Amino acid sequence: MTLEEIEAFVASLGKEKYRARQIMKWIYQQGASSFEEMTNLSKEVRTVMAKEARIGNLEIVRTETSGDGTKKILFRLEDGLLIESVLIPGASHWTLCVSTQAGCRMGCAFCFTARSGFSRNLRPAEIVDQIVQAKFRTEEGPGINNLVLMGMGEPLDNYDNVLKAIAIINSDYGLSLSPRKITLSTCGLAPGIERLGRESAVNLAVSLNAPDDRRRNELMPINRKYPLAALIQACKSYPMPRRRRITFEYILIAGVNDSPADAKLLVKTFGGLRCKFNLIAFNEFPGCPFKAPDPRAIEAFQKVLVDHRFTAVLRQSRGKDILAACGQLSGRHRAETTGSEEVKKIGG
């Protein structure tokens, strides 16, 4: 619930509106999981609130730690479905990558999440609570100061719930995280990009992964509905402050989209658009036919972009050894077995 919704709710119970601000601060800034903890509310108010409402809490099933320090948190939702969030270490802070859907229906060929299918959208509470649990139930929590909506699911396919979650995250009485610290990643739902630009000020990242419609159609089925021309137009209309740019995430796949000629086609297609490229070597996962490119191919691809005055950063994938890297989240539980490791889906 937003501040305004909590205000209306407590007023309907005959209580003062300002109690809503107190309740929000307890939940999002103190990590309270029950009304009884809210000691600046009278006992009578706490009793009424506990009778009429509850504070949801995602269950942390397990946390896996990568050799590079990345941590993957497996959450169980109240209906038994599983989702994943990832804590990514930085020089002096942590970035939290959160999910917006249980599964995904975009069907991108290079994505492990797509193989799990789609179960449902996450509610605003389930999106926000990933942050609350990471902030107050992990030792890394106090150091989280960046948020990326890049986990399981397509954020713009769950637009209303995601935007409501962002409002709670931004609220001075909620998580109080600036829009500048939040990045939303989309596979290219053009109408959603245009709407997001009107209704929010978060950073935009677009998963691109191909320099032309033919290959993007094969890798990302959404391109058949919103081809590159529509995507570029939506990005041009996205309002960005002078010093900020749209990020295009480009997963390099050996023999598919990683040649210098592909990089030159990107230059031709995206010239004039204020943007930068995050280059990501494909992260392999069980059963996938694609392979990561040779480091020399990556360097040659990057050089073409840089030579044409694009910012092109090779983004180091984190957590590959625990299936926590880009495109590897699945909401599956890795069960240790004698002499092997199996991957199985729980719930849904």
Q: Which of 7, 84, 126, 249 is catalytic?
A: 84
Cα 113–chain centre separation: 13
d(CA 341, CA 93): 32
84 included as an active-site residue: yes
CA torsion 168-199-235-101 (nearest 10°) is 40
For the chain, percent helix, then strand, then coil, each to nearest 5? Answer: 40, 20, 40
Dihedral (C-alpha) 187, 189, 192, 196: value to the nearest 10 degrees? 30
Question: Which of 98, 268, 267 is closest to 177 using CA atoms?
Answer: 98
- Identify any residues that bridge with 311 across adjacent strands, giving them in sequence order: 276
Report the distance separating Cα 86 and Cα 140, nearest Å: 11
Q: Which residues contact 276 (CB under 8 A, 6 or more apart)?
A: 245, 246, 247, 248, 310, 311, 312, 313
Closest CA to 192 of 290, 106, 291: 106
326 is an active site residue:
yes
- Residue linked to tokens 């389930």: 126
83 vs 101: CA distance, rounded Å? 8
User: Are 20 and 3 in contact, with CB atoms under 8 Å apart?
Assistant: yes
Structure tokens belonging to residue 17: 């509106």
Q: Which two tokens stand for residue 73?
A: 């948190």
Active-site annotation holder among 108, 187, 275, 326: 326
Phi, psi of 203 (to 5 degrees): -70, 145
Question: Packing angle between helix 18-29 and helix 124-137, nearest 10 degrees?
Answer: 60
Rounded Cα–Cα distance for residues 69 and 26 (Å): 30
Residues designated catalytic: 84, 326
